[in-house]
Chain A
Amino acid sequence: MSDIPAPAHQPFRLSMLLYDRRYRSMTIQVVVFILVMAAGWWLVDNTIRNLQALGKDFNFGFLFQRSGYDIGSPPIPYNSDDTHLRAAVVGLLNTVIISILGCIAATFLGTAVGIARLSNNWLFARLMTIYVEMFRNIPLLLWILIVYALLTEILPAPAAYRGEDPEWSKILFGNVALTNRYTAIPSIGLTNDPGMLDLGFRIMINWATIAFAVVLIGGWLVRRVVLNRAQAAQDRTGERPTTWWINLAIMTVPSLLLIWYFGLHLIQPELTGFNFSGGLNLQNGFVALWLALTLYTGAFIAEIVRAGILSVSKGQTEAAFALGLQPNRTMNLVILPQALRVIIPPLTSQYLNLTKNSSLAIAVAYMDLRGTLGGTTLNQTGRELEAILLMMLIYLALSLLISAGMNAFNARVKLKER
């Protein structure tokens, strides 16, 4: 809307603050500002008075006091003599771990189901529809509780694996043992251990892990160089040099060499005494939360993937085939890039939802951020205001981080209009 400039000689009158478009928005903003400030002042004033009445102050000193509670299988060394701050960090790490694992698994599951729902197979498509509708229309909490009950009620105690001919036997070639308290999985052992790098704060990281990370990232960078060269060669001569075996070698050979050098092997969980040892024991709370989050979010992602693929018009596929592209190249070069544009924004919000939903760990006693900082710490110190405020800010930071990352990814794949 274009404003007609008022004649210059018209004098300013007070009523113009209300009736003149040019000034009215200023008036409204000032009023809103005053109202918001007044409301904020009212809340803060109330809080101060309430805290005074209770004889409390507002400080975060409790974070540096001894926590005095234990956390089962923490990701970094932790015991009850550590501070509340370290407990909160352990909780945060647990939240991050379950979120990352959940996002990865849900993406795979969701993509597979989304494609399966579009398959020609009548029976399989119907089954997948039932799965999606079941999980989308029933509260997540119910799924967490059901999976948890399945694990704790149906699975046997570790003792069932005892003896020559046990009642239960380990699955996946004797690598995984399911029990009613934990799932025992193998851990990775090194015969030629290079030792640990101390990062401070009693956090150690194995040199072998660093070596693998360096090799993988380096391999990926070299691969990009090779691909760019191949592209340049193709632009120059019209013939693309064969690169697949170079890439394969770059990505696998150094890793294989490292595996051979460090003597990497799996340590199978063995029943010693009453419990499994040797491998990792994943607590049932963790497994239940992970499975339930994966299945639940997977159903939503399946719908997103399906909508994304359906949004690419059939003519695109037909055109690609008419140009002589093979089906897999059609998928990679024509369908997916267009579908991704539709898929990524809602996928981001599903990742955010999964991260936030991981706070339901409260139902299965998995000590995530809410369980440590917003649970035991809060109850022990009685610092509701500080603990909840801090917890909310951390969740907010996590959410903003995820959406920033996904937005950057989205910016790369989105339609470049000129």
Chain B
Amino acid sequence: MSEMHAETVPFVRDTMIPPAQPPELQSGAVKWLRANLFSGPVNTALTLLGVAIIWFLFSHFWDWFAHSVWNAGSLTECRQIIAERWGEGSRGACWAVIRERWHQYMFGFYPPELHFRPVMAFGFLMVALAPVLFSETVIIRRNVLIVTTVATLLLMFLLKAPMVWMVFAAVILIGSVILAERRVSRLLVFSFLYPLLGVWLLWGGSLWGPIMVLVALGLGWAAWRLLVGFSPLLAMIAGVLVTLGLWLFAVGPAASDARSLLALSIIPVDSDQFGGFLLSITIGVAGIALSLPMGIVLALARRSDMFLVHTLAVVFIEFIRGVPLITLLFVASLLLNYFLPPGTNFDIILRVIIMVTIFAAAYMAEVIRGGLAALPRGQYEAADALGLDYWRAQRLIILPQALKISIPGIVSTFIGMFKDTTLVVFVGLFDPLKGVSDFVRADINWKGIYWEPYIFVGAIFFIICFSMSRYSMYLERRLQRDHR
């Protein structure tokens, strides 16, 4: 056989066939549909069910959205306009309520002429966060800072901020953009000062309080500096004692003395004037900022070898995790005054922040403990081998890795906490969801309006929480060091 074949002329094609389209059923939209929607009887049934759900939602709600009214003075007027425009018996959304009351949803009863102050505080918050959260890439940081600057100044202009404040904000915002371009770590100083600045901007009053708090901190640092050569531990104790002592006993009188010399004061705003998203964001941001360090300390305490420290941490964490947040808020509003020296009566927002922080810290501690437990033993051994002491080992080796592992958990704790700020309505604060909406509905003009406020508030919560979760996913990817 082989000989015969050897003599035949081999047939080899010497031109290329032009590439042909795949068969109709194997390409493009048809193939995609067959693969993803109609690959089998179950799949087809699911597709039909999905289409039915979409159709149900569309047919029930579309006309309501399509007939939206933005300009009206009351619900009756809204209904009138809808009836005129789309005929008798048709229904529609009356977003006019949001248009009319948006300032209450945003700021509660904060004096309207001072609305620029929370806006400015929020803008500064973004600047303070920039070196911590947005510094993975220059581009992101630049975008965040520039957008913040432009948006804050524009909003302040629209809210008719006085010229002095415009200049103040412009100097800080533009200055921070320039500073961030040159040396971003300098911005951390601003992040450090921000809590005091934010409190001052939101609540107003005299600047001397925050200044004295800072001075006390400085004196504490000086005490630490003085003793650190002698004994680090003693220096730490002395520093903390000096700071706390000054905060408790000296800051108040010193601030009031200074105030009598020079007022340095802006219009004060009471806590009961806070409301809406301003309240939620204030409580949320304060709770987040305070609960993270407290959670880290609790997690380390729970993993400690020292029996007493470990037991106390376990009892504290399990107790807080075992009760609903509402009961803790009731403690804040009804019981906290029992626990403090007679005659003490401090701000309800501060009390709520304390309770929310304690609550979130217990959850945070468990999340971080998970991260600590997930670290390979070798990391601890390596730290020991390098001769690092406990705090250095934690700070340089253990915590950075543990926190990185627990980012998803930390962020979902944050999201949960931010959502839970709506519960403050039950201790008499004006949260955006129920507090402000009930207030709006109590007005005779808007009586009987249900869906629009809920949808509006829900949408804003969704945007904030969803962006937080997406940002955490992004952060997780950025910080991923293992190459799989």
Contacts and interface: CB of A to CB of B under 8 A. Distances in A.
A53 B342 contact: yes
Contacts of B331: 388, 392
A138 B419 contact: yes
Contact of A33 (B47, B308, B384, B433): B308
Contacts of B469: 136-137
A104 B180 CA distance: 53
Interface string A306-348: 0000000000000000000000000000000000000000000
B352 to A, nearest CB: 15
A43 B339 contact: yes
B309 A122 contact: no
A396 B322 contact: yes
A356 B324 contact: yes
Interface in B174-215: none
A54 B312 CA distance: 32
B465 A137 contact: yes
Contacts of A252: none
A362 B327 contact: no
Interface stretch (A60-68, A142-150, A186-194): A142-150
Contact of A46 (B339, B384, B434): B339
B419 A32 contact: no
Interface in B456-484: 457-458, 461-462, 465-466, 469
B327 A142 contact: no
A246 interface: no
Contact of B334 (A51, A119, A388, A399): A388
A73 interface: no
B189 to A, nearest CB: 32
Contact of A140 (B305, B319, B330, B419): B419
Interface stretch (B7-15, B35-43, B116-124, B155-163): B35-43
A59 interface: no
A198 interface: no
A142 B323 contact: no
A38 interface: no
Interface of B: 35-37, 39, 43, 46-47, 49-51, 53-54, 231, 233, 305-309, 312, 318-319, 321-327, 330-331, 334-335, 337-342, 384, 415, 419-420, 422-423, 425-426, 433-434, 450-451, 454, 457-458, 461-462, 465-466, 469
Contacts of A146: 451, 454, 458
Contacts of A20: none
Given A33-B308, A50-B338, A140-B419, A357 B324 contact: yes
B422 A124 contact: no
A29 B306 contact: yes
B411 to A, nearest CB: 12
A380 B322 CA distance: 26
Contacts of B423: 141, 360
A416 to B, nearest CB: 20
> Which 4 pairs across A and B sit closest by C-beta, in order of nearness?
A399-B322, A137-B465, A122-B36, A396-B322
- Of the four ranges (under 10, 10 to 19, 20 to 34, 35 or more), the interface on chain A belongs to 35 or more
A53 B342 CA distance: 8
Contact of B321 (A51, A153, A385, A399): A399
Contacts of B462: 134, 137-138
Contacts, number: 151
Nearest to B331: A388
Contacts of A116: 46
Contacts of A123: 36-37, 46-47, 50-51
A49 B344 CA distance: 12
A139 B419 CA distance: 5
A25 interface: yes
A314 B461 CA distance: 37
Interface in A114-170: 116, 119-124, 127, 133-134, 136-142, 145-146, 149, 153
B394 to A, nearest CB: 14
B439 to A, nearest CB: 14
A359 B324 contact: yes
Nearest to A36: B312
B419 A127 contact: no
B203 to A, nearest CB: 25
Contact of A370 (B327, B335, B338, B458): B327
Interface string A345-375: 0000000100011011011000000100010
Given A141-B433, A153-B450, A370-B327, A385 B422 contact: no
Contact of A149 (B319, B420, B425, B454): B454
A124 B42 CA distance: 12
Contacts of A362: 326, 426
B457 A142 contact: yes
Nearest to A122: B36
